[in-house]
Amino acid sequence: MEKIKKITNKLIKIVKNATKIYHKKKFYEIPEKHKFLNDDVTNLDLQTQSFIIKECKKIFKDINIVGEEGQEKTKSNFSLIVDPIDGTFNFKHNIDNYGTQICLLENDQPIISVLYLPTKKKLFYANKFGAFENNKKIFVAQNFNYEKCVALVGDFVNNEYIDIQKRSFDILASNFKRIRMNGSSCVDNCMLASGKSDLYIIFSKNMWDLIPGQFLVKQAGGKIVYNKHKNIYISGNEKLVDKTLALLFDIIDY
């Protein structure tokens, strides 16, 4: 127990210090690092990830790295998922919805997540003891009536799933009280885990977008379902997730 707490506190310190590298700092684009059309990669994304990896290797000398800005493979049982600036587009345009998120895995199972939103000065983390916001335990909201619920949706991306995204959005907008799009999975999962929203839907294959926040949501009592054919994740309280699956059944074809 004490070991988990100590490692959690060390990772929290690393993530908070990492955000100082980029928060309110000037940047420049690195187009050759863009992973797809309309992607955003800056010098500060790379510097932030390098800092996190360097500091984490002081705790774990041998560790696998799965990062948005590069990966490293070792024979270790431990892996670190890193998203140095989740919401780089927002950061570039001075929109304050962005953050840094990491997740430590042992034998491919999440054991500690840390997510920090520097513009809001809000720290979220999860481990075997639960999910927390600024050291206060948090839980997903228990609303399940659509007319009272807020659904968050991930960015629309110009890929093979764009039509499914649009159709899903139309159905959600016709049933839920409000729909919100923050442009950062880090922000979205923090909002969901702390009960500030009720549902989150994202289309993604990227571990750095998904795993840190999903572990936070799970430890906050949330349910997460995945359709591997459509790469769609739906998160929230169990009853609302199940209702939403039925609502979107014809589109996502579970």
All residue ranges of the chain with pLDDT < 70 are: 1, 32-38, 157-159, 252-254
Digit-coded pLDDT (tens) for 32-87: 666 666 678 889 999 999 999 999 999 998 899 988 777 888 888 999 999 999 99
Rounded CA-CA distance 14/11 in Å is: 5
- Give the three-class secondary structure for 23: coil
- In the chain, domain spans: 2-137, 146-252
Q: With DSSP H G I counted as helix, E B as strand and the rest as coil, what are the percentages for the chain, rounded to 5?
A: 40, 25, 35
Counting every residue written for the chain, the total comes to 254
Rounded CA-CA distance 165/233 in Å is: 12
According to the CATH classification, is domain 146-252 in 3.30.1330.200?
A: no
* DSSP-assigned beta bridge partners for residue 104: 80, 112
In angstroms, rounded to a whole number, what is the distance separating the alpha carbons of residues 214 and 91?
A: 22
Look up the CATH architecture of domain 2-137.
2-Layer Sandwich (3.30)
- Residue 229: the pLDDT is 74
- Measured distance CA(20)–CA(156) in Å, rounded: 29
- Span 130-146, pLDDT tens digits: 999 999 999 999 999 99
Q: Are the folds of 2-137 and 146-252 the same? A: no
DSSP code per residue over 34-95: --STT---BHHHHHHHHHHHHHHTTT-SS-EEEETTEEE--S-SEEEEEEEEETHHHHHTT-
Query: Given this model, what pLDDT does residue 157 score?
Result: 67
State how far the Cα of 75 lies from the Cα of 79, in Å rounded to an integer.
10
Note the pLDDT of residue 34: 64
pLDDT of residue 182: 95
